[in-house]
Amino acid sequence: MPLAKRIIPCLDVTAGRVVKGVNFTELRDAGDPVEIAKRYDDQGADELTFLDITASSDDRDLILHVIEAVASQVFIPLTVGGGVRKVDDVRRLLNAGADKISINTTAVLNPQVVKEAADKFGSQAIVVAIDAKSVTPDNSRWEIFTHGGRQATGLDAVEWAIKMQALGAGEILLTSMDRDGTRIGFNLPLTRAISDAVDIPVIASGGVGNLQHLVEGVSEGHADAVLAASIFHFGEYTVRQAKEAMRDAGIEVRL
Amino acid sequence: MRIAIVDYGMGNLHSVTKALEHVAGDADIVLTDDPLVVEAADKVVFPGQGAMPDCMRYLQNSGLEDAVRDAASHKPFLGICVGAQLLFDHSEEGDTNGMGIFAGDVVRFPKAAMVDEHGQKLKVPHMGWNQMMIKRDHPLWAGIPDLDRFYFVHSYHFRPSDDITVIESAYPYRFAAAVARDNIFAIQCHPEKSHHAGLQLLKNFVHWDGRP
């Protein structure tokens, strides 16, 4: 099948700079977003995702400048998420040069925003981010959590994904909160359950610690794309090495 | 030389504008919703995003349809994504009539066909980087190797009745990914998001004299 599985580096941005987390809490400045985006672009990244983790509302507009600067120099799809609350937030990010907008907590609090945004800008521009956590010891049922995995919603993750597709989401960014930051690999049963339940593409996220994990996300998790942050940021692996590992495992990639 | 990007109110045209500016050289790139500006331009880019029924309605309501038809009749003309689909007779999406500049229809990837060779379900929209198979040489494809990958995101694809296919892709069956006739080139995927190969195509358009 010639359609390539995608590898998507994720950049956390605050106050106009890329940061990387060390031991969950401490944030270290990792550099200029344009330089880092260009580096990943040169390595063959298929898309880039920017997560705005700015806490202060005063600094919220800085992400718009970051996206504008990156979009004028990097010609691959750009997704932006973090703090998207209203349809107007979607509009402003698209006008700054983003191609897709990822909606997370707002999709849970106010699902109509997903529908309105998809109606207005097209499903191709709307990604719904789902943070899911296992609620059974045998890892066979998962629920949606908000606020960085601290707040339970009681919503079943698979049903939620189907509902988001029906409201017009063009893609799902699925993060396993059990695995995020652990570096022990994706939650494969969760990824496969969601990917098999919907017709739209699913991006697997959370838990990547080595290149074999990326391979498993596609081959066992049935993901259409894999997202990773730390394995690329700290220079352990390049995107190209990740693609070569996937190719060697028989997965179609863009090299 | 001035290239007009037609803005009839459908979707985000920032990416197309930025990418064309990046390769424009001395050419002037203008994003416009004014029919007079489209009529005065030397070349025209006709993008489109979202649902085709909305695109057709916006195009008609904006008063830009005649200017687009006029440009397509003789100027170097590049249709992208839904802008390319609109050039055909008819789309299954909302049972919509297109502009009828090309004979043929626009159809959805049929659910029954969306299985890969391992029996695994294929997702719709067809989203991501797929290979472009050259069927016929064209000046806009100069410098782009056979089987190079472009970025797609679409659920519908055009099916020309005439022999105008320049590039094919496959998902899982072969479909026309780009068509061309005389001064018109129309492409289903997104050159503005397709890295070096996409920028090469846009650069070729900037330098194109409109001859096949």
For chain B, the structural domain boundaries read: 2-207
Neighbouring residues of A34: CB distance < 8 A, sequence distance ≥ 6: A66, A69, A70, A73, A74
Paired tokens of A122: 């097209």
Q: pLDDT tens across B23-49, in order?
A: 999 999 999 999 999 999 999 999 988
Choosing from B126, B138, B157, B190, the catalytic residue is B190
Residue B188 confidence (pLDDT): 98
Question: Catalytic annotation on B138?
Answer: no
Q: Domain ranges for chain A, please list them.
A: 6-248
Paired tokens of B172: 């899982």
Contacts of A71 in chain B (CB under 8 A): 14-15, 18
Contact in structure between B167 and B157 (CB atoms under 8 Å) = no
Q: Given its phi and psi angles, is residue B104 left (phi above 0), alpha (psi -120 to 50 degrees) or beta?
A: left
Cβ A124–B125 below 8 Å, yes or no?
Answer: yes
Backbone angles phi, psi at A113, to 5 degrees: -60, -35
Is B57 within 8 Å of chain A by CB? no
Q: How far is B209 from chain A (nearest CA, A)?
A: 25
Residue A28 confidence (pLDDT): 80
Distance CA A251, CA A247 (A): 5
Alpha carbon separation from A39 to A34, A78, A233 (Å, rounded) = 9, 14, 11
Candidates 3.40.1440.10, 3.20.20.70, 3.90.1150.10, 3.30.980.10; CATH matching A6-248:
3.20.20.70
Query: Closest to B149 (Cβ–Cβ): which among A4, A73, A170?
Result: A4
Mean pLDDT of B172-195: 97
Paired tokens of A254: 């863009």
- Strands B165-170, B133-134: pairing kind: antiparallel
Cβ B50–A99 below 8 Å, yes or no?
Answer: no
Q: Given its phi and psi angles, is residue B200 left (phi above 0), alpha (psi -120 to 50 degrees) or beta?
A: alpha
Mutate one of A75, A121, A194 to test the B interface: name it (highest B CB count within 10 A). A75
How are the residues of chain B apportioned to helix, strand and coil, as percentages rounded to the nearest 5? 30, 35, 35
Contact in structure between A201 and B128 (CB atoms under 8 Å) = yes
Candidates 3.40.50.1820, 3.40.640.10, 3.40.50.1370, 3.40.50.880; CATH matching B2-207:
3.40.50.880
Residue A34 confidence (pLDDT): 96
Question: Catalytic annotation on B21?
Answer: no
Contacts of A199 in chain B (CB under 8 A): 111, 121, 123-124
Tens of each residue's pLDDT in chain A, 255 residues:
589 999 999 999 998 899 886 655 677 888 899 999 999 999 999 999 999 987 666 677 889 999 999 999 999 999 999 989 999 999 999 989 999 999 999 999 999 999 999 988 889 999 999 999 999 999 999 999 987 778 899 999 999 999 999 999 999 999 999 998 889 999 999 999 999 999 999 999 999 999 999 999 999 999 999 999 889 988 899 999 999 999 999 999 999
> pLDDT confidence of B180, banded at 50, 70, 90?
very high
Question: Catalytic annotation on B74?
Answer: no
Closest CA to B195 of B144, B126, B142: B144
Query: Closest to A2 (Cβ–Cβ): which among B18, B121, B131?
Result: B131
Is B63 within 8 Å of chain A by CB? no
> pLDDT confidence of B12, banded at 50, 70, 90?
confident
How many other CB atoms are there within 10 angstroms of residue A91's CB atom?
Answer: 15
Residue B2 confidence (pLDDT): 98
Residue B91 confidence (pLDDT): 96
In the predicted model, is pLDDT for residue B144 greater than 80?
yes
Residue A60 confidence (pLDDT): 75
Residue B210: burial class (beta carbons within 10 Å; 0-12, 13-18, 19+): middle
Residue A54 confidence (pLDDT): 79
Contact in structure between A104 and A83 (CB atoms under 8 Å) = no
Distance CA A224, CA A191 (A): 10
Mean pLDDT of B44-70: 92
Contacts of A99 in chain B (CB under 8 A): 12, 15, 193
Choosing from A131, A178, A180, A224, the catalytic residue is A131
